[in-house]
């Protein structure tokens, strides 16, 4: 199967230590009044204060919606849409981790799309939506450069993967200095999320030569610099390299998509409220080992890129997860019986997401069940 090798990226990408200031003239052209979408922590931060100062200097009006508490739900999005309309905003700015960025995209879409956001699960969003500016303060999700947004349907208990070229932000601002205050746990979760993006895009049947190059580059940066940033969050070089890697990996999944790891991690997040990067991380080594026979040459490529033996890539990923102290499901407080009872639904939801179909080998519900059981046996509390 062949796919278009053209890379789809935001209209403008600003990268560097002063990227937010550099981007402000372009942001000012996006509209008259912005809805700034964020969470309560970033909403009270120096980063937010800096954004507000720059908006005021540029004479851009704004209203803040800091109601993204955790990963976005359909209810949060509906509230954001009401705030946007009541304040007569005409574009959105997302600032924070992947959740506010995903939410800004979803809110902007639902200001013009009919119905509820759950109506668009499994459909391509294609509407003339307002401009979106994405300003990540963590290095991991890559949402600033993707045409995807993930929102939980609270009625059905599933994480919806919503997509459409119109969801690609108009402006992405990748300023690594905004992430220097992220605690080690967030640094680990987001960095491992970016690693999962890069590796899965390389393994995907939708991969292209261009995304392969970016994926290998991202993996090299993350494997080298994530342990450094985890141990010392003030290391500017590590923060910069991880921010670039997250953007590279985001471009990869925007064009090549993901595979079985993401397909299986979303149900864990939806049902047990595990942060997305962590749910990826706890599945990553087992899923990579399961795909190794089907994509061994890609693993050899990655092993050589990071300087380990040809058969050592999966082991290197396991070691990185150990260094970053990825918690087990037991340590996350997930009950063994509850996890086992959810396996049939999680497996069905994983396959229904479509992501496992991109893997280098076929996956069925039974295959997903086997991997969930394998994970549960090793790390769920009795």
pLDDT digits (tens, 9 = 90+) for 19-50: 999 999 999 999 999 999 999 999 999 999 99
Helices 209-231 and 313-323: crossing angle in degrees, nearest 10, is 30
Give the model confidence (pLDDT) of 266-275 as tens digits.
Answer: 999 989 989 8
Residues 289-307: tens digit of each pLDDT? 999 999 879 999 999 999 9
Q: What is the pLDDT of residue 3?
A: 45
Q: How far apart are CA 369 and CA 134, in angstroms?
A: 36
Average pLDDT over residues 84-101: 97
DSSP assignment string, 4-20: --PPP--SEEEESTTHH
What is the C-alpha separation between 103 and 81, in angstroms, rounded? 10
Query: Mean of the pLDDT values across residues 361-377?
Result: 92
C-alpha–C-alpha distance, residues 329 and 287, integer Å: 16
| Rounded Cα gap, residues 135 and 55, in angstroms | 13
How many angstroms separate the Cα of 147 from the Cα of each of 9, 76, 217, 369?
Answer: 9, 20, 21, 29
Asked if pLDDT for residue 377 goes beyond 70, the answer is no
Average pLDDT rounded to a whole number, residues 259-263: 97
Segment of 100-109, 118-127, 149-158 carrying the highest mean pLDDT? 100-109
Q: The tokens of 272 are what?
A: 């047990």
Chain centroid to CA 87: how far? 29
Q: Are 323 and 195 in contact (CB under 8 A)?
A: no
**Mean pLDDT computed over every residue of the chain:** 93
Question: Is pLDDT of 1 > 80?
Answer: no
């Amino acid at each position: 199967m062949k796919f278009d090798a053209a890379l789809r990226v935001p209209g403008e990408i600003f990268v560097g230590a002063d990227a937010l200031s550099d981007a402000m003239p372009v942001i000012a052209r996006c509209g008259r009044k912005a809805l700034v979408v964020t969470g309560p922590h970033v909403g009270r931060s120096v980063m937010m204060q800096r954004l507000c100062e720059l908006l005021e200097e540029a004479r851009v009006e704004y209203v803040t919606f800091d109601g993204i508490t955790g990963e976005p739900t359909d209810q949060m999005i509906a509230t954001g849409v009401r705030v946007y309309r009541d304040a007569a905003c005409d574009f959105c700015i997302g600032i924070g981790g992947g959740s506010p960025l995903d939410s800004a995209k979803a809110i902007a879409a639902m200001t013009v799309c009919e119905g509820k956001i759950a109506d668009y699960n499994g459909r391509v969003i294609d509407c003339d939506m307002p401009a979106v500016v994405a300003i990540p303060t963590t290095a991991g999700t890559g949402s600033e450069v993707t045409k995807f947004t993930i929102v939980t349907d609270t009625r059905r208990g599933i994480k919806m993967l919503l997509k459409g070229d119109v969801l690609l932000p108009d402006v992405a601002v990748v300023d690594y200095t905004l992430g220097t205050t992220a605690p080690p746990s967030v640094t680990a979760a987001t960095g491992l999320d970016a690693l999962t993006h890069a590796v899965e895009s390389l393994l995907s049947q939708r991969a292209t030569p261009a995304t392969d190059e970016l994926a290998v580059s991202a993996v090299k940066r993350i494997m080298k610099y994530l342990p450094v940033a985890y141990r010392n969050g003030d290391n500017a070089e590590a923060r910069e390299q991880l921010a670039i890697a997250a953007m590279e990996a985001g471009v990869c999944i925007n064009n090549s998509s993901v595979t079985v790891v993401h397909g299986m991690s979303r149900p864990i997040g939806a049902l047990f409220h595990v942060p997305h990067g962590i749910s990826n991380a706890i599945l990553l080594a087992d899923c990579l080992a399961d795909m190794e026979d089907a994509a061994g040459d890609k693993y050899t490529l990655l092993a050589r890129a990071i300087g380990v033996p040809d058969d050592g890539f999966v082991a290197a990923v396991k070691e990185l997860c150990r260094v970053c102290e990825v918690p087990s499901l037991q340590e996350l407080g997930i009950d063994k019986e509850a996890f086992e009872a959810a396996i049939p639904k999680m497996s069905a939801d994983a396959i229904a997401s479509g992501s496992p179909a991109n893997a280098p080998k076929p996956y069925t519900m039974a295959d997903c069940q086997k991997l969930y059981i394998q994970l549960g046996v090793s790390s769920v509390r009795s």
